[in-house]
Amino acid sequence: MAKASILLESGTNEVEILEFVLGGQSFGVNVLKIQAIEQYDPQRVTRIHLAHPSVIGTLRFRDHCLTMIDLGREMGLHGAEAEADYVDGKPTCGEGNAAKLVLVMEFNQLMTAFLVDGVHRIHRLSWESINPLSPYLGSSETKFTGSLQIEGREILLVDMEKIVTEILPRGQFQHAVAAVEDDHLARMRGSRTILLAEDSAVLRKHVADELRRGGYTSLRTFANGRDCHDELRKITAAADAAGRPVSDQVAALISDIEMPAMDGLALCRWVKETKQTEDLPVIMFSSLINEQIAGKCRAVGADAYISKPQFTQLVDLLDQHTGIVEPVGA
């Protein structure tokens, strides 16, 4: 199945969710991550010994060799029966594999294949229809970022970035931010208050840790765009009452794109269409950044956009847009 064409207008707070099935339960993922949906053929898989327990092997996909993850096993819904795909270390085409599908996804500048039991359909809806997880379930240990109800079914949105980072951690440290050693630079960065909207608890903590190590210690984080929007409205009202600009309170906003209640594109559009905040620098920091998404970021007025996990470049962008260094090309 070819990747669906995404025609959603930028900043309307709409999303298309692919509902897939694991162990009889419904789960969801943003269609923007999907590159292809294919029938599972074990003959195209090369087994990797001593790999992570959820890694089946490598899958030949077009001109790529992709790591293939048994998503059901990673979610605790498949057990040792997955080993039935192999006899003496060689892949088989057992009856249980006939209906399984492979979701090829691309995010964080990485393409990965995921084995699932089946696919139901694509749902177009507003991010407001997606419920954020409770504070307890939204801990850094969860593999979900939100849920929604469709036709009496609860669909859990899977935190694919967290899963891949835990299974394939090789790239997450190469972009780590160096601890700031210049006292003057540390004071300047520390004086800038930065807002961060990120729905994934593990990534929210990771981004915050990287920014603080780089000297951006005055950081306020939010679990979704709606919470950040509501706080910005309060800040704006207080600034108006005091007769001062919002920039006295907030130097920049960093936002993910995929978030329950209000996504990052809708948040950015609101910021840029609101007189008091129109000059607030907005940096989109998302696993989805590609040419198409970059166009959507520009359409809602984002000042910059960058793909996760480019943490050092994120700090550089903050320096430029908060006046610490001269902007590139100025």
Helix (H) or strand (E) holding 150: strand 144-150
Whole domain around residue 307: which residue ranges?
172-321
pLDDT tens digits, 134-150: 655 555 578 888 899 99
Give 263-285 as a DSSP string. Answer: -HHHHHHHHHHSGGGTTS-EEEE
The answer on pLDDT for 200 being more than 90 is no
Would you give the end-to-end CA distance of the chain in angstroms?
45
Name the domain count of the chain: 2
DSSP state of 310: -
Question: 46-50, 311-315, 323-327: which has the highest mean pLDDT?
Answer: 311-315
Residues 232 and 101 in one domain: no
The residue from 122, 147, 169 where one domain ends is: 169
* Helical residues (DSSP H) of 95-198, grouped into ranges: 160-167, 183-190
pLDDT tens digits, 262-308: 999 999 999 999 999 999 999 999 999 988 899 999 999 999 999 98
4 SS3 class: coil
Joined tokens for residue 180: 């700031």
Rounded CA separation 184/189 (Å): 9
pLDDT of residue 281: 98
As a whole-number percent, the residues of the chain with pLDDT over 90 amount to 65
pLDDT of residue 100: 93
Whether residue 1 is contained in a domain is answered as no
Residues 105 and 206 in one domain: no
CATH of the domain at 267: 3.40.50.2300
CATH of the domain at 147: 2.40.50.180
pLDDT of residue 48: 81
Evaluate whether 30 touches 85 at the Cβ level (below 8 Å): no
Longest CA pairwise span in the chain (Å): 75
pLDDT tens digits, 217-247: 999 999 999 999 999 999 999 999 999 999 9
Report how far apart, in Å, the C-alpha atoms of 214 and of each of 56, 91, 189 are. 38, 47, 8
Evaluate whether 223 touches 199 at the Cβ level (below 8 Å): yes
* Helical residues (DSSP H) of the chain, grouped into ranges: 71-74, 160-167, 183-190, 201-213, 225-242, 264-273, 291-299, 311-321
Q: Give the CA radius of gyration of the chain.
A: 21
Whether residue 8 is contained in a domain is answered as no
The answer on pLDDT for 321 being more than 70 is yes
321 SS3 class: helix
State the average pLDDT over residues 202-222.
94
Residues 176 and 310 in one domain: yes
Residues 192 and 314 in one domain: yes
Residues 134 and 21 in one domain: yes
pLDDT of residue 12: 84
The residue from 169, 203, 231 where one domain ends is: 169
The residue from 138, 169, 200 where one domain ends is: 169
Residues 73 and 96 in one domain: yes
Whether residue 150 is contained in a domain is answered as yes
Residues 24 and 165 in one domain: yes
1 — pLDDT class (breaks 50, 70, 90): very low
Rounded CA separation 113/35 (Å): 10
State the average pLDDT over residues 61-78.
89
pLDDT tens digits, 164-175: 988 886 655 557
Whether residue 20 is contained in a domain is answered as yes
pLDDT tens digits, 10-22: 778 889 999 999 9
Rounded CA separation 78/17 (Å): 23
> Model-level pTM?
0.83
Rounded CA separation 26/99 (Å): 16
Residues 248 and 277 in one domain: yes
The answer on pLDDT for 75 being more than 70 is yes
Average pLDDT value for the chain: 87
State the average pLDDT over residues 28-42.
94
pLDDT of residue 90: 43
pLDDT tens digits, 239-271: 999 999 999 999 999 999 999 999 999 999 999
Give 83-97 as a DSSP string. Answer: GGGEETTEE---GGG
The answer on pLDDT for 89 being more than 60 is no
Rounded CA separation 175/162 (Å): 17
pLDDT of residue 330: 52
Residues 139 and 176 in one domain: no
Whether residue 185 is contained in a domain is answered as yes
Residues 91 and 137 in one domain: yes
The residues that bridge with 105 in the sheet, in sequence order, are 34, 112
DSSP state of 2: B
State the average pLDDT over residues 4-11.
54
Amino acid at 232: L
The answer on pLDDT for 189 being more than 90 is yes
Other C-beta atoms lying within 10 Å of the C-beta of residue 243: 6
